[in-house]
Structure 1
Amino acid sequence: MKIKVRPKRSRRGITFKIPDDTFEKIGELCDRYGFREEEAIRIILLHGYLEDDPRANEETFERLREEISQLKKELYELEGKWSPLKFKTYYIAIDNQNLAIQLSGMIAENKRLRERLGLPKRDYGEVEEKIRYYLNFEK
C-alpha cells in the first residue's frame, strides 16, 4: 500500500510504501480499539511509536488510545473555559461599536453647534481614528 503525505500549503509530498500485511495488522488493531486507520497512520508517522518498539502490539495501541482520550478531556476543559470568554468578547465588541456610533454622532453635533455659535473648529482626528477602528467590520 502506498500512502502519500502532503503539507497543507504545498503540492509536494512524500510517498510511503507500507507492506500489505503490516497495513492489514494496523487495520485489525484499529477496528479492535476504535481508531480510524488515517488517525493511526498519522500517529505512527508523526510520533514514530512503532519504530522504537519492534514488538508493538495491543498494549501500544491501548496506550495511544488512553493518550488520545486524555487529550480530548483536556480539549473539552479548554473549550469550556474559552467559550464564555469568546461570548463576552463578542458582546464587548458590539458595545464598543455602539459607543463608537454614539460618539460619532456627538462629534458631528458638536461640530455643528460650534459652527452655529461661531467658535473655532477643533481637531477630532485622533477620536475619529478610534471610531474608524471600532467600526471596522473586516477581519
Structure 2
Amino acid sequence: MAEEIKVIVFTLGTEEYGVEVDSVKTIERLVPITRVPKTFDFVKGVINLRGVVVPVIDLRGRFGLPEAAHTEHTRIIIVNVADMEVGFIVDTANDVIDLNTDLIESPPEVVGGVKAKYLRGVAKISNERLLIMLNLPEVLNKSEIIQLEEIGE
C-alpha cells in the first residue's frame, strides 16, 4: 500500500524540488553568511542560527547550475544530514504537499542539469508538474560532511 509523505517544495530556477518534511528543521530568510576559507566553492560559509553555527551550501553551486542573484524570496532550508544541521540556499521555498510515494519514479541520468546520484526520484504531480526529490545523503558525501563538521566546531 502506498504511503503518503509530506514534502517541502522549493525551486532552483524553473525546476521544482522536494525534500521530506522529516528532514527539514526550519526554513529561514536569507541572513548574513560568514565566509569560511579553504572550503568547497558551493559552501558559502556559516550562519549563527539561534546560537548554533550552521554551514550553508548554495544548492545551485552544488548541482553545477548557474548562480542567480538573491531576492526577497531566497530562503535557507535547514536540514538534518547525517546528524548534522546544514543550510541549503534555494530560490524559493513556499509549499508543503502530501505526496504519494507511488508517484516517485527512479530518476533519469540527468534532470534539469542535476546528476541522478543527488536525486531520490522524480514525482509526477500533474501533467505539467514534475517534482525532483532530493537524496539528501548524496547531496553531501561523507568527506564533505566531515569538512562541514569541522567548520561547525
TM-score using structure 2 length: 0.19
Give the structure with the larger helix fraction.
1
TM-score using structure 1 length: 0.20
Give the structure with the larger strand fraction.
2
